[in-house]
Amino acid sequence: MKLAFSTLGVPGLPVPDVLALASEHGYHGVELRAHPEEPVHPGLSPAERADVAALFRGSGIEPLCVAGYARVAAPGDDAAVLGELRGLLRLAHDLGAPFVRVFPGGEGPHEEADAIAARRLGTAAEDASALGVRILLETHDSHRTGADAIRVLGPVGHRQVGALWDVMHTWLGGEQPAQTYAALAPQLGYVQVKDIASAEDSTPLPLGAGVLPLTECVEVLSRGGWDGWLCWEYEKRWYEQAAPLPGLLTAGRDHLLRLLGEAA
């Protein structure tokens, strides 16, 4: 498996500095938080996109994903959500990133939210296919577990639409790692790892210092023969009191490599 970290852990850090951190600490890729307050977002000009892509190529670090904020199950007009999603797809294509992350964001009865999300993702799948980018629905908010996500992904049934497994949200949803993997394996794009103190305190901690079942997750993935990406999403942007991520990156890498070695 390859290792990455999210720029959510280094808010606002310029791309060259992000790539230097990845190289220095032994990570293979970076998940790019796509928000206007970050260096990488859909408002970049063609020249700016080309510059970012060139920085990645020159560093040998891979742009894993454009992590957007489109909420595909949210009520409202399809056109606005699809427009946002298509902008993220074009950005990922221009940067050479294989994935775009979207949230569910559903409200009300899950049957209605499922249908809205499946309709939008099915429509956007054709754009994704044309651009060579895959849309990943994260286990999050209204669709926290693998069982929730598959209710949307099953009806879509398109190879360019898959799942992003956030291990915190499936755990908070009461789902065991083996259950999540069984639900998502055919559609799994990659896995976001993290650690927290408890269900009541989600302040990010160093990997292995909290309660999340990272050992079980890695074991399940290894037993399944899955060889994709593990991405550390350290939510520093939302928790100013959390320790700075750069000082934790080497220990985090070593922890994941130890889990992978033990699971082999």
Instruction: Kindly provide the b/e burial profile for residues 85-102, where b requires at least 16 CB atoms within 10 angstroms of the residue's own CB.
Output: bbbbbbbbbbbebbbbbb
Looking at residue 146, its pLDDT comes to 98
The predicted model gives 50-72 an average pLDDT of: 98
Q: Are the beta carbons of 170 and 182 closer than 8 angstroms?
A: no
Confidence of residue 145 (pLDDT cuts 50, 70, 90): very high
pLDDT tens-digit map of 14-30: 999 999 999 999 999 99
Closest CA to 135 of 148, 123, 147, 151: 123
Looking at residue 178, its pLDDT comes to 98
Confidence of residue 73 (pLDDT cuts 50, 70, 90): very high
Q: Which segments of the chain are extended strands (E)?
A: 2-6, 29-33, 62-71, 99-103, 134-138, 161-166, 188-193, 229-232
Confidence of residue 127 (pLDDT cuts 50, 70, 90): very high
The predicted model gives 152-168 an average pLDDT of: 98
Task: Tell me what the pLDDT averaged over the chain comes to.
Answer: 98
The predicted model gives 111-139 an average pLDDT of: 98
Amino acid of residue 191: V
Confidence of residue 167 (pLDDT cuts 50, 70, 90): very high
Confidence of residue 136 (pLDDT cuts 50, 70, 90): very high
Looking at residue 229, its pLDDT comes to 98
| Long-range contact pairs involving 236-243 (C-beta distance under 8 Å, separation at least 24) | 236/8, 236/9, 236/10, 236/11, 236/204, 237/8, 237/9, 237/11, 237/33, 239/203, 239/204, 241/203, 242/203, 242/204, 242/205, 243/206
Q: Are the beta carbons of 226 and 188 closer than 8 angstroms?
A: yes
- What gap in Å lies between CA 93 and CA 130, rounded to an integer? 10
Looking at residue 144, its pLDDT comes to 98
Looking at residue 250, its pLDDT comes to 98
The predicted model gives 93-106 an average pLDDT of: 98
Looking at residue 93, its pLDDT comes to 98
The predicted model gives 162-180 an average pLDDT of: 98
